[in-house]
Structure 1
Amino acid sequence: MQLDPPVTQRLRPGPSALSREEVLASQRGRLALAALQTVAAAGYQPTTIADITKRAQVSKRTFYELFRSKEECFLAGLEGGVAVAQHHLDEALEPADRLDWRRLVRRSLTVYLELLAAEPDVARALHLEAVAAGGEIAHFRARMNGVFVDRMRGAHRVGVEQGELSGEPAEGMLAFLIGGIDDRIRQQLIASGPEDLPALGPDICAAAIAILRMSGVD
């Protein structure tokens, strides 16, 4: 998973062919990535704006042109991480309509765990430090969980179309499922680190399939 596209690479000294808007976009991307990486390494509370600008090799003056606070910068990093994860999930699941709904669930969750293992900074930032940050980032986490609820709802819809499931999945059940997955990921990160996250796959997938089978059943 590539979180550092060319536009966010450090600009070389001297004249640049980029417009001011492109330069600022590059600096914004570097700062957001630096915030995510620094918070993942040091923790949200201890991280300072100076730490972020030093890692990004961008001035504090430029930081305040682009962000109002550490929270806003970290939030941009989290949003970038989730966007990249979503992109990779979409690529891995194409075309989803050819997959059995159970395989769709397994593939979705397995790919996500593998992505987190490959990008430990993203794993720690999303599932550990974002919890500690609170504030607007807590609202972001709720939106992020909603995105994954929608993915599970989509898998259930495929099962209905394939004639194996019926009804509509209860919102509370799906929220319970995604919250449980989030908690298991967090506990695994604390216990042994991101490299072991794929080992959660079989249990998480089995639980997701069982809950989706129960959904819509009176």
Structure 2
Amino acid sequence: MTSPVLASNAERLLDGLAASIGERGYRDTTVADIVRHARTSKRTFYEQFAGKQECLIELLRRNNADLISTIEAAVDPEEDWRVQIRQAVSAYVAHIEARPAVTLSWIREAPALGAAAQPLHRQAMDHLTDMLVTLTGSAGFRRAGLTPVSGPMALILLGGLRELTALHVEDGGDVRRIAGPAVAAASALLGAG
């Protein structure tokens, strides 16, 4: 069992990495930057993580889990399917808006980590796909005569949304501007079922 002190140190370090990514980007972030933001020591860092890469993978894993929880909490399965799509997209956008640099690291930086990040990517996409399949199996979708989206179709929708998100974040654009196209694409794809 992890002690509360170790857990709080890990949380502080993850927050420190997130702050440094927002300030400098992942590539330019050093362990010294992480511990400076976390207000702790390198010794504490290395008690928690083998290195910066492992810390990033854990940050992204938790961020993705938070994203899924946020979307699931925002969607009312009894609402009309179109309302559910807007609820899901609004929750997605709000989550991304809160930590755009961390999201961009997940989309652009994590793949560069190679095999070390592959389980993270696979797990995140599996969980996001499962979430979409579950959401589209709700009462609001069933009342409209719609069947749950297939896994491959959910993956196509998610991949497009990730790329649209990355482009807006990279360009420094307002992430809220992806909401309209995301709702339209999701409505077209999910409503065709």
Q: Is the 8 A contact 1:34 1:55 kept in 2?
A: yes
**In structure 1, what is the equivalent of residue 188 of structure 2?**
210
**In structure 1, what is the equivalent of residue 168 of structure 2?**
188
| TM-score, L = length of structure 2 | 0.85
User: 2:133 corresponds to which letter in structure 1?
Assistant: R
Q: 1:104 aligns with which of 84, 97, 122?
A: 84
Q: CA RMSD in A?
A: 2.3
1:38 counterpart = 2:16: no
**In structure 1, what is the equivalent of residue 98 of structure 2?**
118
User: 2:65 corresponds to which letter in structure 1?
Assistant: A
Alpha-carbon distance in 2 for matches of 1:188, 1:46: 21
Give 1:22 deviation, angstroms.
1.9
Alpha-carbon distance in 2 for matches of 1:121, 1:175: 23
Deviations 1:10-50 (A, max 9, x none): xxxxxxxxxx9222211111111212222343233332222
User: 1:80 corresponds to which letter in structure 2?
Assistant: R
**In structure 2, what is the equivalent of residue 66 of structure 1?**
48
Give 1:114 deviation, angstroms.
2.0
List gaps (5 residues or longer) in structure 2. none
Across the two proteins, how many residue pairs are aligned to each other? Answer: 191
Q: Aligned to 1:98, what secondary structure does the other structure show? A: coil
Give 1:154 deviation, angstroms.
2.0
List gaps (5 residues or longer) in structure 1. 1-19
**In structure 1, what is the equivalent of residue 143 of structure 2?**
162
Q: Is the 8 A contact 2:13 2:34 kept in 1?
A: yes
Q: How do 1:43-54 and structure 2 match up within 5 A?
A: 43-54=25-36
Alpha-carbon distance in 1 for matches of 2:129, 2:190: 11
Alpha-carbon distance in 2 for matches of 1:66, 1:207: 41
In structure 2, relative to structure 1, the CA distance for the partners of 1:105 and 1:156 (3 Å cut) is same
**Higher alpha-carbon deviation: 71-80 or 127-136:** 127-136
Alpha-carbon distance in 2 for matches of 1:71, 1:78: 11
User: 1:211 corresponds to which letter in structure 2?
Assistant: L
Q: Is the 8 A contact 2:57 2:117 kept in 1?
A: yes
Give 1:188 deviation, angstroms.
0.8
**In structure 2, what is the equivalent of residue 197 of structure 1?**
175
**Higher alpha-carbon deviation: 184-193 or 142-151:** 142-151
